[in-house]
Chain A
């Protein structure tokens, strides 16, 4: 039950490390790579805090082993901003009071970015369905929905103009 060498690209940077097969991808990202923006809540796929993007799709990092990410492209919340400039979605989370304690935020941002890329014009109901995969224990869902809706509106306007 030895260690395996893996190579994972996270936010454009290549991490070459030795891992035990049982190491969760969420633990690899936080403890081995030091990227603590990805949060760990329930560790069985329910809370959504650890959601990241693997090969262009939002998934739970606690339901993947690090070894399964060998050779894959991973993006975490640290990889969203460009040169420390927050994205429009992140700015709207601040503006619309879309976060309180912030524990669930990283996962929600990763899910939302992926979701909006595939569904640029979701209804409120569809946004809420997407968010049902995330638990916010501050229960601040209203601000979160507003931040997402504002982002959609702004992106549509910039496409039009």
Chain B
């Protein structure tokens, strides 16, 4: 339960970090909060030869609302986002998702960017980012590029990010219309990885007709899964039991969860359907306010 040997660097600037990362090549790994990386190093599931610690790069820690877009620096601690009144006001879904990550003590150190690049299939932040149609800014020595959440996650613990790149910012478009949201998960114990998590963001017009909806699930596939059918089924309609049943049915068709020690594939599918109904119902109620 002790990590293997590694070289340690603590760059003072992002530029220095990118240079170190390029020199280290495949042996290099960025450490931010370390709440996912250090456990897997302690268990020797990962053994990076060179750790580049970006905790000194304070300029990567911020929460801003610019042009109706929420911008969060990669090094921002999860607890800072959790306690941000601004985030609670403009992006309730993110605020609700964050409280379900690990525990207070791990959120105090865990970062926004770290959880997203780690890309655990049942993690809260990747799911929230996908549901909110967010994107990430990725920086290397040569360029800064933006990748939508829909294209960022590739498979288990694997994203579009290259060994010489750093995720530097998370952006989430904000909606002005009447909108509602819901983020719910089921875990064996509070703070454990979710067996299944579901998130929904929805806008509704004055007649109660759904004008836009995004529904996504975590823990049912290798990456967070957007249920595209939900939009087709629900847009222009009032939420009803029969429509909920239709969406739940397409969730069953679209997802194929794996069985493991914690839950069978059948049970995960069952949870996915139950949580789908719950988040759609709550998001609709909140949108109607």
Answer yes or no: B108 CB below 8 A from chain A CBs. yes
How far does the Cβ of B84 sit from chain A's closest Cβ, in whole Å? 14
Q: Given A43-B42, A132-B189, A132-B191 in contact, is the A64-B109 Cβ separation under 8 Å? A: yes
* Contacting pair B1 A22 (CB below 8 A): no
| Residues on the B chain within 8 Å of A20, using CB | 5
Q: How many residues of A contact B (CB 8 A)?
A: 29
Chain A residue with the shortest CB-CB distance to B39: A44
CB<8 Å pairs between A and B, sample of 9 = A21-B8, A21-B51, A27-B2, A43-B2, A48-B105, A51-B105, A65-B38, A129-B104, A132-B103
| CA of A62 to CA of B8, assembled, Å | 17
| Residues on the B chain within 8 Å of A4, using CB | 8
How far does the Cβ of B189 sit from chain A's closest Cβ, in whole Å? 7
| CA of A129 to CA of B4, assembled, Å | 33
Q: Given A60-B106, A133-B103, A133-B104 in contact, is the A45-B8 Cβ separation under 8 Å? A: no
* Contacting pair B8 A60 (CB below 8 A): no
* Contacting pair A115 B104 (CB below 8 A): yes
* Contacting pair B4 A133 (CB below 8 A): no
Binding site for B on A (CB under 8 A): 1, 4, 20-22, 24, 27, 43-45, 48, 51, 57-60, 62-65, 67-68, 111, 115, 118, 129-130, 132-133
* Contacting pair A130 B104 (CB below 8 A): yes
How far does the Cβ of B72 sit from chain A's closest Cβ, in whole Å? 19
* Contacting pair B55 A68 (CB below 8 A): yes
* Contacting pair A60 B105 (CB below 8 A): yes
| CA of A27 to CA of B42, assembled, Å | 12
Answer yes or no: B207 CB below 8 A from chain A CBs. no
Answer yes or no: B43 CB below 8 A from chain A CBs. yes
Q: How many residues of B contact A (CB 8 A)?
A: 29
Answer yes or no: B190 CB below 8 A from chain A CBs. yes
| Residues on the A chain within 8 Å of B190, using CB | 129, 132
- Contact partner, B5, options A1, A48, A129, Cβ 8 Å: A1
How far does the Cβ of B80 sit from chain A's closest Cβ, in whole Å? 10
Q: Given A64-B34, A64-B109, A132-B191 in contact, is the A111-B7 Cβ separation under 8 Å? A: no
* Contacting pair A65 B8 (CB below 8 A): yes
* Contacting pair B109 A59 (CB below 8 A): yes
* Contacting pair B42 A62 (CB below 8 A): yes
| Residues on the A chain within 8 Å of B4, using CB | 22
* Contacting pair A45 B51 (CB below 8 A): no
* Contacting pair A1 B7 (CB below 8 A): yes
* Contacting pair B191 A133 (CB below 8 A): yes
How far does the Cβ of B187 sit from chain A's closest Cβ, in whole Å? 11
| CA of A133 to CA of B108, assembled, Å | 12
| CA of A51 to CA of B109, assembled, Å | 12
Answer yes or no: B205 CB below 8 A from chain A CBs. no
| Residues on the A chain within 8 Å of B156, using CB | none
Chain B residue with the shortest CB-CB distance to A53: B108
Chain A residue with the shortest CB-CB distance to B107: A133
| Residues on the A chain within 8 Å of B43, using CB | 44
Q: Given A4-B8, A133-B191 in contact, is the A57-B108 Cβ separation under 8 Å? A: yes
Chain A residue with the shortest CB-CB distance to B51: A21
Answer yes or no: B267 CB below 8 A from chain A CBs. no
Q: Given A1-B6, A58-B104 in contact, is the A43-B109 Cβ separation under 8 Å? A: no
* Contacting pair B38 A63 (CB below 8 A): yes
For window 1-29 of B, CB contacts with A under 8 Å fall at 1-8
| CA of A60 to CA of B207, assembled, Å | 50
- Contact partner, B105, options A43, A44, A111, Cβ 8 Å: A111
